[in-house]
């Protein structure tokens, strides 16, 4: 990253300092709630994910009927129906499928962590890059811990590890403008 790019990035962070801090504080509060109530956080994530699949499946099924001449009608409809089925199962049966959700969340944490590592190294030497990398490592470790403890971790670990991940993400969003201000 060139000195000009670093300066532009630092200026953009300084201009949006309040938004960075607000997001950081919101993520920290969410993290504390998830850590305090891990089972409830796990169930809430599962139900939320179910509704997202359900809405996406309905949209895809409607799309398949509105684009019948496209040629992918049957496959598009089948994918939509699959999403509806999975979404309904996740949304309306909150306790079942927590192991599958735990695995999905763990893989998401690992992917997010890898992306944050890449972002952090891309941001270097701009202010706050270290905290983004640290957040990435925490996401990867959280994902690995979550998978390695299955099935026992499924009832509490999603909420706890999501809370820890939210805390570190929140801290990184607060650290970036604070470090930029001090530079």
The band of 29, judged by pLDDT with boundaries at 50, 70 and 90, is very high
- What pLDDT is attached to residue 1? 67
Burial 80-111 (b: 16+ CB within 10 A, else e): beebbebbebbbeeeeebbeebbbebbeebbe
- What pLDDT is attached to residue 180? 75
Average pLDDT over residues 43-50: 88
Average pLDDT over residues 82-109: 86
- What pLDDT is attached to residue 70? 66
Average pLDDT over residues 124-134: 85
- What pLDDT is attached to residue 14? 84
Mean pLDDT for the chain?
A: 87
φ and ψ at residue 124, rounded to 5 degrees: -60, 130
137-178, pLDDT tens digit by residue?
A: 999 998 898 899 988 888 888 788 789 989 999 999 898 888
Q: Give percent of the chain with pLDDT exceeding 70.
A: 97
The band of 71, judged by pLDDT with boundaries at 50, 70 and 90, is low
Give the number of other CB atoms < 10 A from CB of residue 15: 11
Helix axes 17-36, 3-15, angle to 10 degrees: 70
pLDDT at 81 over 70: yes
Closest CA to 55 of 90, 29, 14, 24: 90
The band of 183, judged by pLDDT with boundaries at 50, 70 and 90, is low
SS3 (DSSP) at 156: coil
User: In this predicted structure, which of 29-33, 45-49, 68-72 has the lowest mean pLDDT?
Assistant: 68-72
- Please write down the long-range contacts of 128-136, taking CB distance under 8 Å and 24 or more positions apart: 128/13, 128/172, 128/175, 128/176, 128/177, 128/178, 128/179, 128/180, 131/171, 131/172, 131/175, 131/176, 131/179, 132/172, 132/176, 134/168, 134/172, 135/168, 135/169, 135/171, 135/172, 136/112
- What pLDDT is attached to residue 72? 74
Cis peptide before 151 (omega within 30 of 0): yes
């Amino acid at each position: 990253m060139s000195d000009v790019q670093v300066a532009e990035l630092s200026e953009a962070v300084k201009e949006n300092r309040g938004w960075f801090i607000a997001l950081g504080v919101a993520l920290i509060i969410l993290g504390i709630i998830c850590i305090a109530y891990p089972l409830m956080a796990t169930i809430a994530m599962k139900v939320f994910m179910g509704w997202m699949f359900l809405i996406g499946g309905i949209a895809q099924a409607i799309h398949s009927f509105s684009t019948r001449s496209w040629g992918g009608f049957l496959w598009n409809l089948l994918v939509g129906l699959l999403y509806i089925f999975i979404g309904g199962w996740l949304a309306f049966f909150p306790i079942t499928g927590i192991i599958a959700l735990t695995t999905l969340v763990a893989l998401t944490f690992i992917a997010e962590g890898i992306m944050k590592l890449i972002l952090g190294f891309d941001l270097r030497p701009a202010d706050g890059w270290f905290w983004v990398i640290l957040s990435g490592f925490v996401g990867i470790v959280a994902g690995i811990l979550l998978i390695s403890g299955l099935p026992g971790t499924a009832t509490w670990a999603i909420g706890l590890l999501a809370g820890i991940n939210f805390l570190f993400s929140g801290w990184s969003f607060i650290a970036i403008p604070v470090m930029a201000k001090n530079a």
